[in-house]
Amino acid sequence: EPEVTQTPSHQVTQMGQEVILRCVPISNHLYFYWYRQILGQKVEFLVSFYNNEISEKSEIFDDQFSVERPDGSNFTLKIRSTKLEDSAMYFCASRTDRGLSYEQYFGPGTRLTVT
Amino acid sequence: AQTVTQSQPEMSVQEAETVTLSCTYDTSESDYYLFWYKQPPSRQMILVIRQEAYKQQNATENRFSVNFQKAAKSFSLKISDSQLGDAAMYFCAYRISYGGSQGNLIFGKGTKLSVKP
């Protein structure tokens, strides 16, 4: 069964550094998402991406964040200058829009630790 | 704005017994989707069950079923014959369904389910 993959599984970085989190969505999917989950808290929407541009973004997704689909398979989330409060689990998700198939398939997540 | 509330931070059930997890939501929309996701210690989010708001019939998936009360904006998850592998964090989520939205999910805070042998 096809699945969403994410790399790395765990990333440790120093405050102020740039990080890129990578995701490979399911190949025939059209919509892509990033969510984050601070430890012990609920999952929060960051951004959605469709047709090579951002569709929606939350208040969390400020100028420090950017997304890109550089090569038609990867979907990346970049944090330009990480802060301690960016420490969280970051989930990528994707979905197709064929008929009623609105399920979002989640990747296993990348644990980001900012020190 | 839409919100999802899970009022039970933790629940416990005996193996083979039945447990119900509660979820309420607030929306002014009439057409939407509701989901239950399971997050085991590995932290990968796994879809358990989905309900379309326009369907009156409650969704079922093997041992998992929902009680969807649209007027009350309630969407509870019932797990029958609980197994040790059911132990996880369970998130209720809402998604609007009209075409202009890209369908981002709005999650509740989750209920941590423990299963006792």
Pick from A3, A16, A46, A38: which is nearest to A112 by CA? A38
3-state secondary structure of B27: coil
Contact (Cβ atoms closer than 8 angstroms) between residue B106 and residue B4? yes
CA dihedral B51, B52, B57, B58 (to 10 degrees): 10
Q: Which residue of A has its CA nearest to B35?
A: A103
pLDDT at site A2: 79
pLDDT at site B98: 61
Q: Could you count the other beta carbons within 10 Å of the beta carbon of residue A40? A: 8
pLDDT at site A101: 52
Q: CA B77 → CA A49, B18, B20, distances in Å?
A: 30, 10, 5
- Residue carrying structure tokens 């980001």: A112
Residues of B in contact with A43 (CB under 8 A): 45, 91, 93, 105, 107
Q: How far B44 CA sits from the closest chain A CA (Å)?
A: 4
Q: What is the rounded distance in angstroms from the CA atom of residue B35 to the CA atom of residue A84?
A: 31
| List of chain A residues with pLDDT < 70 | 98-101
Q: How many residues does chain A have?
A: 115
- Residue carrying structure tokens 């969704």: B59
pLDDT at site A42: 87
Q: Given an 8 Å threshold on Cβ–Cβ distance, is A56 in contact with B101?
A: yes
pLDDT at site B102: 65
pLDDT at site A19: 98
pLDDT at site B101: 56
B111-116 and B10-14 beta bridge pairing: parallel
Q: Which of residues 11-70 of A touch B (CB under 8 A)?
A: 31, 33, 35, 37, 41-45, 48, 50, 55-56, 58
pLDDT (tens, 9 = 90+) of chain B, 117 residues, equals 789 999 999 999 999 999 999 999 999 888 889 999 999 887 788 999 999 888 889 999 999 999 999 999 999 999 999 999 999 999 999 987 665 556 788 999 999 999 999
Phi, psi of B85, rounded to the nearest 5 degrees: -70, -5
Q: Classify the phi-psi angles of B7: left when phi > 0, otherwise alpha if psi is within -120 to 50, otherwise beta.
A: alpha
Q: Which residue of B has its CA nearest to A4?
A: B44
pLDDT at site B18: 98
Best B23, B35, B44, B94 member to test A by mutation, with max A CBs in 10 Å, is B44
Q: Given an 8 Å threshold on Cβ–Cβ distance, is B105 in contact with A89?
A: no
Q: Given an 8 Å threshold on Cβ–Cβ distance, is B44 in contact with A102?
A: no
